[in-house]
Amino acid sequence: MIARHWLNRLFISGICLLAMIALVPLFSVLFYVISHGASSLSLEFFSSLPAPVGEIGGGIGHAILGSVVLISMCSLISIPLGLGMGILLSEYSQKPVSRVLGVVVELLSSIPSIVVGLFAYALVVRPFKGFSAHAGAIALSMIMIPLVARTTEEMLKLVPRSVREAGLALGLPKARVIVSIVLKGSLRSLTVGVILAVARIAGETAPLLFTAFASQHWFQGLSEPLASIPVQIYTYAVSPYEDWHAKAWGGALILILMVLGLNLLIRIFLPRRKDG
């Protein structure tokens, strides 16, 4: 009895220790970014264009707007396509097309993001002779589509088969069962999946370097280069100037706050129902 009791305690302490070790990097990143970036944050930082080197002030408003534009475009492409693929993968998994698609999604999601960027460069930037928001959105979509497809597939597979069978046994066509019962019942988890995918692509840098590239101006049109927070951070961080470094930290803090905000949104607006 006594030995078992102590063994139990030992294991619990061990697990707690491991959990704390895992939390160290997370909190140190948060702490570091906040302590370096907080001083850059001001209304001007959010709302104005970058100031020339040496001048005080300026901001990354154009990059924030650019990120919002890119994420919106990418979502418009990726959410319908990803949901469609996820439904095909989960509900029609016996069909040959679904098996092929499963492999394709698997491969797509394992392509390094820099390769995705190069691919979009060859596919869009070269033929149209210039960096553009279009190219950036397409590159980001190549990352987001498989993400959405995978989470959709997994969420839909959580719906027990007995529920689908109940629908079929009522004489509902399969498509009706999928839309009115399976999808409707998974609305919450699908939304969570999509928001997490958005949070993921919000921080992608590599696919944007050769596609949307960077810009020192406000949004100029979808066929023009477009600034984004991650690329702006990159530009500032690799520069030799002290005040640009500080702005890179500021940008990083905004990015983290955005992703954190999305996660909070999920928790506040989509609380888990007790009965479901």
Partner 1 sequence: MMTPSPVLLEVNGLKAFVESTEILHGIDLGVSRQEVVAFIGPSGCGKSTFLRCLNRLHEETPGGRAEGRVTLEGQDLYASGTDPVQIRRRIGMVFQKPNPFPSMSIFENVASGLRLNRIAKGVELEARVEAALREAALWNEVKDKLDASGMSLSGGQQQRLCIARALAVKPPVLLMDEPTSALDPVSTAKIEELVIQLKKETTILMVTHNMQQAARISDRTAFFLYGDLVEYGPTTKVFTTPSDRRTEEYITGRFG
* Helix, strand or coil, per DSSP, at residue 1: coil
The pair phi, psi for residue 95, each rounded to 5°, is -75, 140
Query: CA-CA distance, 264 to 274, in Å (whole number)?
Result: 19
Contacts of 16 (CB under 8 A, 6+ apart): none
Residues counted in the chain: 276
Q: How far is the CB of 96 from partner 1 (least distance, A)?
A: 14
Q: How far is the CB of 188 from partner 1 (least distance, A)?
A: 9
Looking at the Cβ atoms of 242 and 275, the one nearer to partner 1 is 275
Query: CA-CA distance, 30 to 23, in Å (whole number)?
Result: 11
The pair phi, psi for residue 223, each rounded to 5°, is -95, 10
Query: CA-CA distance, 59 to 64, in Å (whole number)?
Result: 10
Looking at the Cβ atoms of 59 and 167, the one nearer to partner 1 is 167
Q: How far is the CB of 172 from partner 1 (least distance, A)?
A: 5
C-beta neighbour count of 172 within 10 angstroms: 16
Looking at the Cβ atoms of 110 and 162, the one nearer to partner 1 is 162
Q: How far is the CB of 162 from partner 1 (least distance, A)?
A: 4
Looking at the Cβ atoms of 187 and 264, the one nearer to partner 1 is 187
Strand partners for 125: none
Q: How far is the CB of 276 from partner 1 (least distance, A)?
A: 5
Contacts to partner 1 by CB under 8 A: 94, 160, 162-163, 165-173, 176, 180-181, 184-185, 187, 273, 275-276
Looking at the Cβ atoms of 130 and 173, the one nearer to partner 1 is 173
